[in-house]
Structure 1
Amino acid sequence: MSDNLSLKAFVVLLKASKSIEELIKKDISSHGMKSSDFAVIEAVYSKGKQTIRQISEAVLINTGSITYVIDKLENNGLVERINCKEDRRVVYIQITDKGKELMDEIFPKHQQVIESLFEGISAEEKEIVINVLKKVGKKGETIR
């Protein structure tokens, strides 16, 4: 019986993930951005300047692809590269004033879309979802 529940939980998780991903892509594209662009600019908007590696790990985009995304964002004046004074090999990515203005406008709207996904779900239920998904994710890392 638990095997059937595990399979059912897996299928429900995948379907929910796909549904949420489609909603988020639609929301982000309504602001004239691609998901990868939004993920990168949101990372530096929320956390401040970061290295390309830090951003890559945070947004789950490989470093080869992320350079292309950062180049586009930089060409649009939304982020800028800053060389590290202590280590010439390190380059930081920082949001520009133009990028901050854009995110100040669109991020609250994006956050509201996410909030609407969880309407009617109690704080306790959200905590349960968070904890269960963390356990599943950690288990997945050990099985590899």
Structure 2
Amino acid sequence: MHFWDKHKTITSYYELLSGEVCDQYGLTQMEYDILMFLHDNPQYNTAAEIVKIRKSTKSHVSTSLKKLENKGLVERIQSKDNKKHIEIILLDKAELIVEAGLNAQKQFAKNVLSGLTEEEKQVCINIFDKICNNAEEHLGKYKKNANEK
């Protein structure tokens, strides 16, 4: 499928740029992705939310969070009201990594969107959002049907 092949090219380029940050700071791609996710989405700061929104496996997220905690980049804070609710916060030590990640993301966006007008960029965002929403809808239907069997 042409779209899928092109999508892989875009993903590969992003992973190349983010991989440089990972190499510099001794992180796996998953650890990097979690740090950037927590920075970009502070309202979704539990392991369950990371798994659900990023569509990652529980085991990968759990393992990566443990490594990030051991590196002093995140801290898990247990709720006083609900012992099962554990929030994850970025620590100051993660700031340099996040800054490098943001720079990599800016470079990625600048390069892949070069030559596009602001209007064309907005059209791309709108179309991509529709494609993602369609995929999300059909994925949900598929999972619902699979659970009913």
Is TM > 0.5 for Structure 1 vs Structure 2? Answer: yes
* Contact 1:36–1:69, Cα closer than 8 Å, also in 2: yes
**Per the alignment, in what secondary structure is the counterpart of residue 30 of structure 1?**
helix
In structure 2, C-alpha distance between the alignment counterparts of 1:42 and 1:106, rounded to whole Å:
7
1:92 and 2:80 correspond? no
Counterpart of 1:23 (choices 13, 25, 37) is 13
Normalized against structure 2, the TM-score is what?
0.79
User: What corresponds to 2:106 in structure 1?
Assistant: 111
User: What corresponds to 1:101 in structure 2?
Assistant: 96
Kindly state the Cα deviation for residue 79 of structure 1 after the two structures are TM-superposed. 1.0
Counterpart of 2:31 (choices 37, 40, 54) is 37
Count of residues in correspondence between the two structures: 134
In structure 1, C-alpha distance between the alignment counterparts of 2:4 and 2:88, rounded to whole Å:
33
* Partner AA of 1:44 in structure 2: L
In structure 2, C-alpha distance between the alignment counterparts of 1:110 and 1:125, rounded to whole Å:
19
1:73 and 2:63 correspond? no
Kindly state the Cα deviation for residue 77 of structure 1 after the two structures are TM-superposed. 1.2
In structure 2, C-alpha distance between the alignment counterparts of 1:89 and 1:121, rounded to whole Å:
47
RMSD of equivalent CA atoms: 1.9
1:64 and 2:59 correspond? yes
User: What corresponds to 2:145 in structure 1?
Assistant: none
What residue ranges of structure 1 are gaps of 5+ in the alignment?
Answer: 1-10
In structure 2, C-alpha distance between the alignment counterparts of 1:137 and 1:52, rounded to whole Å:
23
Normalized against structure 1, the TM-score is what?
0.81
User: What corresponds to 1:5 in structure 2?
Assistant: none
Q: Percent of aligned pairs with the same residue?
A: 20
The answer to which of 47-56 and 113-122 deviates more is: 47-56
Kindly state the Cα deviation for residue 103 of structure 1 after the two structures are TM-superposed. 1.2
**Per the alignment, in what secondary structure is the counterpart of residue 120 of structure 1?**
coil
Kindly state the Cα deviation for residue 129 of structure 1 after the two structures are TM-superposed. 1.9
Deviations 1:94-113 (A, max 9, x none): 11110123212342233222
